Amino acid sequence: MQITVAAVGTRLEPWVYDAFDAYRQRLPRHLNLAVEEVPVTRRTSAVPAAAAMDEEGERLLRHVRPGALTLALDERGQQWSSRELAAEVEGWLARHPHVAILIGGPDGLAPACRERANRLWSLSRLTFPHALVRVLLAEQLYRAWTILQGHPYHRD
């Protein structure tokens, strides 16, 4: 299964890439996790936040393969426990060779991204920096995998 994280933001701090890679590398080869970055659109008086968000959304959607199960990270989305996420991942493995997870920019996700998404997913009711979201996402996907394998990484 290919999981593509399409995220707004480039040239992040090195620790973000290192932490994401640490979890990505722990996953088995048949669960391939990758990030596709799109640049933040500069907000100006000529390019207001809504227009910038729409432009970012168009770029994010270019990284979604046709037929891919698409999840949009959104504060209004459904929240899962780690065990519930593991059950979701098990379903993805059984039914979806391609999964796309969309992470918006400073102003969130474009409406087109939420409309394209099969599901809206909220990592938390808290607000996180976008760089940290990538790391949290990778760790939770790794945690879900370990739960499915019966590995002791996760403790209830």
Please check whether residue 102 is in contact with residue 113, taking contact to mean a CB–CB distance below 8 angstroms: yes
b/e 105-116 (16+ beta carbons within 10 angstroms → b): bebbbbeebbeb
Q: Is 106 helix (H, G, I), strand (E, B) or coil?
A: coil
- E strand or H helix at 83: helix 82-95
156: in domain: no
41: in domain: yes
50: in domain: yes
Calpha distance 68→123 (Å, rounded): 20
Q: Where are the beta strands (DSSP E) in 25-137?
A: 32-38, 69-78, 98-103, 119-121
Domain with 40 in it: 2-149
Query: In DSSP terms, which residues pair with 105 in a beta bridge?
Result: 108
The whole-number pLDDT of residue 31 equals 94
Nearest alpha carbon to residue 66 among 93, 32, 97: 97
Which CATH number covers residue 112?
3.40.1280.10
154: in domain: no
The whole-number pLDDT of residue 37 equals 97
Query: In DSSP terms, which residues pair with 120 in a beta bridge?
Result: 72
pLDDT tens sequence for the chain (156 residues): 999 999 999 999 999 999 999 999 999 999 999 999 999 998 888 888 999 999 999 999 999 999 999 999 999 999 999 999 999 999 999 999 999 999 999 899 999 999 999 999 999 999 889 899 999 999 999 999 999 999 888 888
Quote the number of domains for the chain.
1
